[in-house]
Amino acid sequence: MKEGPDIVRIASLIGDPARANILTALMGGKALTASELAAEAGVTLQTASSHLSKLDKGGLLRPRKQGRHKYFSLADDSVAEALEGLMGLAARSGHLRTRTGPKDEALRQARVCYNHLAGAKGVQLLSAMQSRGFIDGEGETLSLTDAGEAFVSDFGVDLPTLQSNRSPLCRECLDWSERRSHLAGSLGRALFTRFEALGWTRCDRNTRVVHFSADGAREFQETFL
């Protein structure tokens, strides 16, 4: 038997339709209960509990207990990025859900990918920072330049705190709808949080759609041309 990471085990965990629906529901970054996830997956609570146990043992979930309730969220950014990548692969291969609606275009325009901005706006954010010389490199080797450090600090991001964390500062995440990369990592998360604090955006955690206010859309466009 060949040695190395067991992708079959991970693929089998994600590949079940109910478990895939559970994981997708958690892409909004909101922790949900077993009952809520059962409804999202369209299965009974008992069946959902079994799926959640398997996902937890597989390292894909982070369970937390608060009072009488137990909540589940994705284990970390890497799980969200893997799911976003699989969504992109499914889209490129023509495997799309047939039921669409008004929110479909909104999801493609701007959505939350676990804890950072995705969709056309997310791709625009990374592209602008690269073209202006704020971010260098690609893939796992993205780095913030000196000019980039000055920019994000002036924008109100607590950069020293981000740099002191062990998590990657800048990472690419392949966007399933745009088929280009958007900005992930702790900087992607911090910028998205800053957009919300400035009142530029409001996230609907149930649909993952990120709504820009009129002023926010204008400010974002001017800042990230």
- 142 CB-side CA count, 13 A: 25
Over residues 182-197, mean pLDDT: 96
Using pLDDT thresholds of 50, 70 and 90, give the confidence band for residue 100: very low
pLDDT of 102 above 60: no
Q: Nearest Cα to 170, choosing from 185, 189, 155?
A: 185
DSSP calls for 27-67: GGS--EEHHHHHHHHTS-HHHHHHHHHHHHHTT-EEEEEET
For 107-152, the pLDDT digits (tens) are 999 999 989 999 999 999 999 999 999 999 876 679 999 999 999 9
CA angle 27, 30, 33 (to 5 degrees): 105
What is the DSSP code (8-state) at residue 209? B
Domains and CATH numbers, the chain: 7-75 (1.10.10.10), 99-223 (no CATH)
Using pLDDT thresholds of 50, 70 and 90, give the confidence band for residue 209: very high
Q: What is the pLDDT of residue 88?
A: 77
